[in-house]
Structure 1
Amino acid sequence: MLSMRLRLCDLQKPEWRPQGGRWVNGKSWIEPANVPTLAMEINDDQAPRVRVRVRECKRDDADFITVVMEPGEARVSAGVFGTAPLFLVEKGGELHASWDLAALQPHLRADRLVPRVVARTLTRQHRYTSETLFEGVYRLTERASATFTASGLGLRYPEPAEHVLEPRSLRPGVDPLAALDDLLTGVIRDAPTVTGCVGVELSGGADSGNVVLAIKAARFPQVHSFGLLVGGNTGMQQRERRRAFVEHCGFRDTPVPAMQHPPFCPGGVRALRKPHDPAGAFYQEAFDVVREQAFARRCEVIFTGSGGDEINAHHSRTDVELPAPEPVPWLGPKTVRALAEVNDHLAPIPVLPVPTLMAFGMHNPGFLRAGVWPVSPLVHPRIVRFMEQLPHDYKRGKALFRERIRRAGLPESVAAPAEPENFLAVLEKGLRTYGLPVLDDMLKESVLVDLGYVDGKALGQARKEADTALTVPDLLCDLLALEVGLRSLM
């Protein structure tokens, strides 16, 4: 949620002053993301020690990044939410940082990658860690801190977060649905909006459905709903569910046909080779359209349904076994060797669910780029803790979420659809129509092949098989997105 350049020599004489939206001291500067819901606080009462904090406004339990500077040292720390992770790199006695990885482009080297991170990306074994694809470039994970001195940059993980290990029994007379309703509405009502103009991602599923019901109860002056529509028969059912929610809540709705904006489509960030994070989301092109629409309607905040699957999952935090990864036939020798290290250097257990935090890193920078602040109320710490304590019968199949939709008066086809929406047809169109030509180009010249991360011959065989296959292997999307993203930063 901030960008900055710090020079140790400037910290010797702190003379910070506002200048064009930044705070400047010599050639050092700190700037919040250009989002109206963020505030930057400066405390220099204890000079030469200066503290700068960028945080959500209007919230006591706000997300934040804090920078504490004194002669010879700067310390950066993050809150528990991880809404927009900060990327850090130290070069030549200077600390550069930004929520936007592409903003650090001058310091990124496509020929200096971290093999185990490449292996995680190509095999879809993503992990929450301070490591990024690029050597010397780090992510400040939730509750973590970084220290910048003449010796360089050091990162420190926090202690593992405490969680409820097993569900608990309900007290007699307790209505868990009413408790969830109060919690969710309260979290949404506390959102850091100034004008009260908000947006919500409405897919038509149980997660976004529960969010929109709470938004209605929170009574914002103006609410816009946005949704990516999938095609085919599934898309028709999704359209009906969305229409039911929109009419029930009285929102101003903007549907976006996802099939018109599939991965690698013309006019999208990847086709235009705009500098972007190679680890971006599959459907970045479609979500970019949603973000542009939200900004055009002057939404300060956009609520998402992220995390609904995670908080409804039944698992043991003391005995977790990840599923075996799908075989990837085109891995090169460097990637194969690095597979033994995919679980090295991981961040400790966070407050929020790990998959949600990783999704934030892929999706949320795009919202900040559009000038909109994303809020995911389902994974607010208060709701995470409530759901951890809830007996599993209320979470199995999202039973409590679905019952809340029924109790709102919406039909069973909305509360428990027989065929939930998915984006597989959108992915197939993107790969078949636009991805395979990218692969043809990659077979001629490739960063990943040249560096030994991908086997060119095996990739060529996969290309031949894709022509006659009923569907293009979706793991090719991970490969192509990584290749195109690396090229965009070169």
Structure 2
Amino acid sequence: MGVELSGGADSGNVALAIKAARFPEVYSFGLLVGGSTGRQQRERRRVLVEHCDCRDTVTPAMQHPPFCAGGVRDLCKPHDPAGAFYQEAFDVVREQAAARRCEVMFTGSGGDEINAHHSRTQAELPTPEPVPWLGGKAIRALAEVDEHLAPIPVLPVPTLMAFGMHNPGFLRAGVWPVSPLAHPRIVRFMEQLPHEHKRGKALFRERIRRAGLPEWVAAPAEPENFLAVLEKGLRSYGLPVLDDMLKESILVDLGYVDGRALGEARRNADSAPVVPDLLCDVLALEVGLRSLM
């Protein structure tokens, strides 16, 4: 039995539920993001691991950034072109779970979505960030994206999309992923809650407090994020991939990406303090498509 434990409220609540179920032996796995945020994350995880009595394995995510040497994209092994930027790091986690013969992995997937504004709150969605290197074919496709849609599912669409990116890797490793926070009854329960219980994951954080864990675990000042890992991957490994893409590209040839605008983005990236994270999406899609040819 395994549990993904990031140190956040979602996976923390799942870990508390696993503890309450009193399984005889539980392994915990987590990616450490590094930097000052990573140090706080490490301490939160340590407290949760000790409280839940897990046998812990950690993976420094900085050692496995996107496009890193030896990763699935670098080796051009067939993989999902829509794979998330943390795919290389989670591949390591899945290998560790399989090596420890975990048959089931509990995850905190779905926690963000069930704590978000429900459509009945009339909350405005954030304006999407413009993508300057989209080609004409992609722009035309986006104009038709809302046509002929499937019926709205029980689970939030972002949760299903995350499953599509995250779960196949576990299944290939012989591990069955289980996401309690995405259970339809949990989703419906959270939909009916007043928003003050969901704002900032208030209910989840209160449950962690009531378990006896300190406030800095229940409500950290700096939640973990993968931005530093993404930046390292793009700066160290992604830009050389982009250079190769500017010479020959499936997406440019098919008209989905404007090669001239992409070249300008490449020139700007050298002097920019942070490489635009949108570049990761186009690079991952290009490399993923190449891996399937």
Structure 2 length normalisation: TM-score? 0.97
SS in 1 for 2:119: coil
> Which residue identity does 2:185 align to in structure 1?
R
2:184 counterpart residue number: 381
Q: Distance in 2 between matches of 1:417 and 1:441?
A: 41
Residue type at the aligned position of 2:231: E
- State which of 81, 104, 129 in structure 2 corresponds to 1:326: 129
The answer as to 2:79 corresponding to 1:276 is: yes
More strand as a share of residues: 1
Matches within 5 A, 1:75-474: 198-317=1-120, 322-474=125-277
Work out whether residues 118 and 191 of structure 2, in 8 Å CA contact, stay in contact via their aligned partners in 1.
no
Distance (Å, rounded) in 2 between the aligned partners of 1:376 and 1:408: 21
Q: Distance in 2 between matches of 1:402 and 1:267?
A: 38
Whole-angstrom CA distance in 2 between matches of 1:350 and 1:262 = 33
Q: Would the aligned equivalents of 2:14 and 2:107 in 1 still touch at CA under 8 Å?
A: yes
1:160-205 CA distance string (max 9 Å, x none):
xxxxxxxxxxxxxxxxxxxxxxxxxxxxxxxxxxxxxx10110000
Gaps of 5+ in 1: 1-197
Alignment map for 1:474-485 (pairs within 5 Å): 474-485=277-288
What displacement does 1:319 show?
5.5
Q: Secondary structure at the match of 1:435?
A: helix
Q: Return the index of the structure with the highest Cα Rg.
A: 1
**Match of 2:28, SS?**
strand
Equivalent pairs, count: 293
> 2:292 is matched with which residue?
489
Gapped regions of structure 2 (runs ≥ 5)? none
Q: Aligned in 2, Cα 1:288/1:266: closer, same or farther, shift over 3 Å?
A: same
Q: How much identity, in percent, do the aligned residues show?
A: 87
Q: TM-score, normalised by structure 1?
A: 0.59
CA distance in 2, matches of 1:318, 1:344: 25
Displacement after TM superposition at 1:249 (Å): 1.0
Larger RCO, structures 1/2 (Cα 8 Å, 6+ apart): 2
Superposed displacement of residue 281, structure 1: 1.3
Q: CA RMSD in A?
A: 1.2
Q: CA deviation at 1:315?
A: 2.0
**Greater share of helix:** 2
Between the aligned partners of 1:476 and 1:344, the Cα distance in structure 2 is: 27
1:346-382 Cα offsets, whole Å, 9 max, x none, are 2211111111011001111011011100000011112
Q: Name the aligned partner's letter for residue 163 of structure 2.
A: F
Q: Following the alignment from structure 2 to structure 1, what is the Cα–Cα distance between the partners of residues 61 and 139?
A: 35
